[in-house]
Structure 1
């Protein structure tokens, strides 16, 4: 748990303070080259071109990381394991800094610049994410993709879990999804939806605890969160309702987009702090015991 807290702080600090360095370290060119090689290796009607093809893309790098994770676990009091986990979480986080991207939207001088900035919140081949008419929902969708999905699977499976989420997201919504076989992309998107669903549910629960419980639960039910459909679209609905309630409480029902986005990022930060506070409690409990 301590390693997770430490890794999240490092990821946030470097991503915000040194975005160019973070972008260089999080380069996914090696994975895109791997996907192109596989695509050329299995032409025609093959397993690669169906939904199961994503397994061929994911298993080799995940097996390498899982093996290193296992080998480093009890070496030198766990210090190499700690550093390995921090490095993998840092790599999988983002890849762009969410705060900076939202600030660019808020500070945009005209509608054209604002639309271009909003596009940065949406992956190149995203399917089913909030559209251009829902900038608040897009912030929450981006928070799931950049922060909470990675963090949830890191907590569950360690470094391999964080890498699994990031590589699945690249295959499903990144640039490779624009040229890879449709069957492969469909399989990657199904996998990503499976990975997203529990993380989005926990985000909604956290928002209910740090925001207005009744508003969040109502939006969650109306958005389909109570149905097991592997569709995280309810998260955008919950985010919109929460921001609307925040604005109404402040007497700004007709607030401009910049204020709505500020409130959205404030709520996203509250969710993250709630998660980190819970982790801190586990760390303290472990030290006490």
Structure 2
């Protein structure tokens, strides 16, 4: 777990200090070429619902072998460096907070639309749709940060690379129909426990009653592979926090300064608080391990 803390901090710091270097490191053209080759020679097995396993299994097994082999040499230092490298590679591939800041700092409509498109939103009304921006921030937080972090914590480098490649497979445009459905189902299955833990953390760092009631109404309490509840909980939580902030200003007799894109700012603030809570819990486990 101490490795996870170090690796996450490095991933965040490097994304801000050396974004060009990190961007050049996080290249997945080799995986796209691998999918293309399988599409040409994979046959009926590739076109089936579980065909994506043909793409993922060799890579995951290779990473598992390296993880096992590098764990011992030089008192585990080589393994530590490998773990950090894999997590930094799987993180992102773009830093969410940088993309959100680019939206907030954009001073004209075309620049803002281009920045919003990096979150997966397109269209003329996207820049004015606060709830859609909140959903996009949390969907990207799940895929860029928390999904990788959770599976790295659970399985090590194998989990991080599995999640990242599964996410890329789920959005790959050229997969056969059944294969693509299987890839999306795998991605949803990997996302579900992460979304549940993000919701729990949101309840702890935000309004617990609002989060809990929305989570139940959105079907989060049902054991099924669906993460739609996260978007609804995020919207309700942000809406509640903005309402509470406005009420506090009114009670103090102050006029609230109108910020641009308040939902976007509050959503990113909430994501940061969730990440800090996750890291704080990890730190407690690390300290507990040292003490014992």
User: What is residue 94 of structure 1 aligned with on the other side?
Assistant: 92
CA contact (8 A) 1:23 1:95 kept: yes
Q: Indicate the structure (1 or 2) with the bigger Cα radius of gyration.
A: 2
Matching residue within 255, 261, 264 for 2:264: 261
Pair 1:225 & 2:220 matched: yes
- Separation (CA, whole Å) in 2 of partners of 1:286 and 1:151: 20
Residues 250, 123 of structure 1: alpha-carbon distance in 2 compared, 3 angstrom cutoff = closer
More displaced stretch, 12-21 vs 195-204: 12-21
User: What is residue 284 of structure 2 aligned with on the other side?
Assistant: 281
User: What is residue 144 of structure 1 aligned with on the other side?
Assistant: 142
Residues 132, 38 of structure 1: alpha-carbon distance in 2 compared, 3 angstrom cutoff = farther
CA deviation after TM superposition for structure 1 residue 39, in Å:
0.7
Kindly provide the CA deviation profile for residues 239-278 of structure 1, in whole angstroms up to 9, marking residues without a partner as x.
1111111111110899665221111111101100001001
- Separation (CA, whole Å) in 2 of partners of 1:199 and 1:166: 14
More displaced stretch, 105-114 vs 189-198: 105-114
- Separation (CA, whole Å) in 2 of partners of 1:169 and 1:54: 12
CA deviation after TM superposition for structure 1 residue 88, in Å:
0.5
Kindly provide the CA deviation profile for residues 172-194 of structure 1, in whole angstroms up to 9, marking residues without a partner as x.
01xxx212211111111000000
- Separation (CA, whole Å) in 2 of partners of 1:257 and 1:28: 35
Length-normalised TM-score, structure 1:
0.91
Length-normalised TM-score, structure 2:
0.90
- Separation (CA, whole Å) in 2 of partners of 1:8 and 1:268: 15
- Separation (CA, whole Å) in 2 of partners of 1:254 and 1:28: 44
CA contact (8 A) 1:118 1:132 kept: no
More displaced stretch, 78-87 vs 196-205: 78-87
User: What is residue 31 of structure 1 aligned with on the other side?
Assistant: 31
Matching residue within 224, 231, 241 for 2:236: 241
